[in-house]
Structure 1
């Protein structure tokens, strides 16, 4: 259970009465405009202790209630939601009182000064059955959402280094003092801007293995005990020494750059580099309205650059437009409104914020002591006495998934010994295979006791908690027999041989007529050679253009198919290894069967995409012999994979099987999240990967359904017909009857 889950829900028709504590920049710019933009909320009250001319909440919002004390707001039973925008050292007190008075609460970042206080508030929210959320709005930065999409696509490969920056050039000391510049609880760059950056990293990767922090005061004139640090650098290490990822989080006050670096991500296949901060904050400060078409939209000059390494060692660079339509901070409150009405979870939970605060504390401790700090936020329980292997064994390169126990994630690696040696150590857990040797192209599950003294086993095995079920299934991925007959059929299938047969015969007959006239009549057919050469050039240009466009479509399809397969592998891995909750009983047989069905649905997506795009169904959709439930349209491998329960399709009603399967998988992610199997960032990332599958399928569908322009086809046929008619005149004199063969070819 997490702090974002509530059992108390509000009526869908009732407006949510909001009370805001504080009337500074945060309330005026980052909260009240979004509350007023959504019909679900009603700005009911504001707490402002000392209004003054030009800064009076009652003057700016004459229809609201104005309180001088937060206690008066808590005593008002009309208030449903309290938003705490005061200084951080007051957050704990106000949040505690609001929860105890029965209010739901949104707290500005930083949540509270310590992770201990955060855990206490999360516990209190659960006891009171009230919603508790933290305002980490930069999860909805346009560049961050774009980066999430790039990571999910797999274009960067395995991430080696991830840098995130919030740098500025402000060498002069600030003219006014705030909680951000004075030495006070939860103050300074690490808690201010650093909490935004660390929250984004946590949202992407979870908790790190170790934390190393460097917190300092960079600006001259501030190096006193009364000033908060204005710069921080935090290094986060993920993974094992053999497969490590380094994350750098940096915020600096002295960065004299015209284009400030925002993201720089480097992987085994490519890199992504992005400069400039998200535009929403400066737009809000500049008075841009939320309903303006330009709100949240980055200029093209701020787009990031994707560099991908090709197989020949060359680098292909392209500008990546930010995702459209742009996500905005409105989504935070839209998600919050749904959560209050029982239609989802809070946008950022108190549990997430508590974890981020723990990382901040470790960074500060590291900076103070000069030593890296081990992070134990999500370290799993002691390893049980069982081990799970999920191995996909191709014909040449055996692979295995490996678990990294320090930060609960999995990665793929090559086996360091032969599959036969693996089988001698393991008991095959599938019900259909009795052989002692793994079969190429199949997924296998193995189970055997852990030998903690075996170094080779430690470096290559998947270590799993005892509660993870072993799926006793064997799913065929690809086991095609490459023989002469199948090769011939693949060559003929989808070709244009049948379409061009009649024109070829006609041109051959015409060529035979020209040769006959040349041999058996006194007339010698002849045309100027310039005509043939000119048409040859035209035909050559047409063929070059056609080949280039065809290859571009083919390559785009291959890239999108790779995206689909990569995301399916990642989702399958997560479903099989994370479908459990540490603080709950083992999954029931029904829940285990549900996990198995979800994995089968994932594997079926590839087949469904192929069958849908190529219309390779058992029967034509809508045919008279189609069964009422649509299952008759499925090929045997799909029916076997999905089973009778999932084989009911709706192709004849316009719902494609790939979309139907992704809807089923999305529902499984939602149910797993509700059970506590997936935490909110993890569930969000899984949904992003699923969306990437749908987007890739949509692109492939566009390629499939976009015809060649009719005018181009007509022009091409005319030119080819003319060229085929002229060729016999060029060949007849020197080739005689061989001209018929050459024209036909």
Structure 2
């Protein structure tokens, strides 16, 4: 049994973490820390047997707790991760892992020295559309890839976010997930083109961006925009022998918002009409297939953490991927965009 705790009990904790951990018999949530508790917060957590504490030392000094998930505002991640590691706790850190490469290197080195695990919560590796993309690439039906386009578009015309730093923008918030997917698939690019903007409310952090990752034989385009109402594919992939196009993004978030929890029938499943379309040439004939969507499961991050902590398995997200991700993000906000840099 892996006993764990949370720092923070906001939407991230109650929507994207706790429902999945509750499905895992080998992980037990012993405590949750937040500076103040209300009955509403406790009800949202939905863990009557868990200790709701207001003193962080209750977590740090509890020898039974092996893992702490940090689900707090971005600019607090570095200090909290360091504090937890110094007290002998493995850490799983919400997005972004930290703000700079220097911070990432310090956290990862401290974890290594302590014999502990420090990793970001890259749950979007288990998005259904991404897992389906991996399946399509593994089939090799569309041949050598020369262009990939991944979108995370929504229609939220009113920007309700508070004024914050550049690290509080969507580039760090969502870009870190999209970059993680690409780094896991294709490794480090040679060049990166950036176009990072604030479109809805000037003065707020960025809410839209396009980055292009340039490899020797392929280009990967990553886009986020909060003002997209029309339909556009979440994934478009073109190879020398065909293409794969999928419109709908992963359905886990929609289910969670609707109160449908992991473990319930059809959680996170796509409708058949939302399956991606694969077209490719075979024996000089154009073939077309509807590709059933691989069902995603954000709890797989916790499965991976369990295996690494308890059995020494390789980390789901390697230290090299963590640092390169932050390196690309940090370069993006260092100067005004649009611009192109060579890594």
User: Alignment partner of 2:68: what SS?
Assistant: strand
- Equivalent residue number for residue 374 of structure 1: 342
Q: Which has the higher strand share?
A: 2
Give the distance between the partners of 2:141 and 2:14, measured in 1 at CA. Answer: 40
Alignment CA distance shift 1:300-1:48 (3 Å): same
TM-score (normalizing by structure 1): 0.45
1:279 aligns with 2:251: yes
Give the distance between the partners of 2:45 and 2:169, measured in 1 at CA. Answer: 32
Structure whose CA Rg is larger? 1
Please point out which of 15, 23, 48 is paired with 1:29.
15
1:252 aligns with 2:219: no
Please point out which of 206, 227, 233 is paired with 2:210.
233
- Equivalent residue number for residue 242 of structure 2: 270
> Structure 1 residue 30: deviation in Å?
1.2
- Equivalent residue number for residue 164 of structure 2: 183
Alignment CA distance shift 1:346-1:100 (3 Å): same
Alignment CA distance shift 1:59-1:327 (3 Å): closer
Please point out which of 294, 297, 316 is paired with 1:347.
316
> Structure 1 residue 75: deviation in Å?
2.1
- Equivalent residue number for residue 360 of structure 1: 329
Describe the superposition over 1:587-633 as per-residue Cα deviations: whole angstroms up to 9, x where unpaired.
xxxxxxxxxxxxxxxxxxxxxxxxxxxxxxxxxxxxxxxxxxxxxxx
Q: Which has the higher contact order (CA 8 A, sep 6+)?
A: 2
- Equivalent residue number for residue 401 of structure 1: none
- Equivalent residue number for residue 330 of structure 1: 299
User: Alignment partner of 2:228: what SS?
Assistant: coil
Alignment CA distance shift 1:41-1:230 (3 Å): same
- Equivalent residue number for residue 105 of structure 1: 91
> Structure 1 residue 264: deviation in Å?
0.4
Contact 2:17 2:299 in 1 (8 A): no
User: Alignment partner of 1:255: what SS?
Assistant: coil
Correspondence list, 1:723-738, <5 A: none
> Structure 1 residue 62: deviation in Å?
3.1
- Equivalent residue number for residue 560 of structure 1: none
> Structure 1 residue 132: deviation in Å?
1.3
Give the distance between the partners of 2:56 and 2:209, measured in 1 at CA. Answer: 34
Correspondence list, 1:643-658, <5 A: none
> Structure 1 residue 154: deviation in Å?
1.3
Correspondence list, 1:614-629, <5 A: none
Give the distance between the partners of 1:140 and 1:47, measured in 2 at CA. Answer: 27
Contact 2:195 2:339 in 1 (8 A): no
Contact 1:336 1:345 in 2 (8 A): no
Give the distance between the partners of 2:15 and 2:314, measured in 1 at CA. Answer: 24
> Structure 1 residue 369: deviation in Å?
5.2
Describe the superposition over 1:123-178 as per-residue Cα deviations: whole angstroms up to 9, x where unpaired.
1100000011210011111221111111122111111111000011222232xx35
Describe the superposition over 1:44-77 as per-residue Cα deviations: whole angstroms up to 9, x where unpaired.
0000112234223698433222221324321222
Give the distance between the partners of 2:87 and 2:218, measured in 1 at CA. Answer: 45
- Equivalent residue number for residue 193 of structure 1: 174
Give the distance between the partners of 1:70 and 1:260, measured in 2 at CA. Answer: 45
- Equivalent residue number for residue 118 of structure 2: 132
Aligned length: 343
| More deviation, 84-93/137-146 | 137-146
Give the distance between the partners of 2:119 and 2:237, measured in 1 at CA. Answer: 29
> Structure 1 residue 371: deviation in Å?
2.9
TM-score (normalizing by structure 2): 0.94
User: Alignment partner of 2:215: what SS?
Assistant: strand
Contact 1:211 1:362 in 2 (8 A): no
Contact 1:212 1:373 in 2 (8 A): yes
What is the root-mean-square deviation of aligned Cα atoms in Å? Answer: 1.8
1:223 aligns with 2:191: no
- Equivalent residue number for residue 156 of structure 1: 142
Give the distance between the partners of 2:303 and 2:62, measured in 1 at CA. Answer: 24
Instruction: Give unpaired runs (5+ residues) of structure 1.
Output: 1-14, 376-745
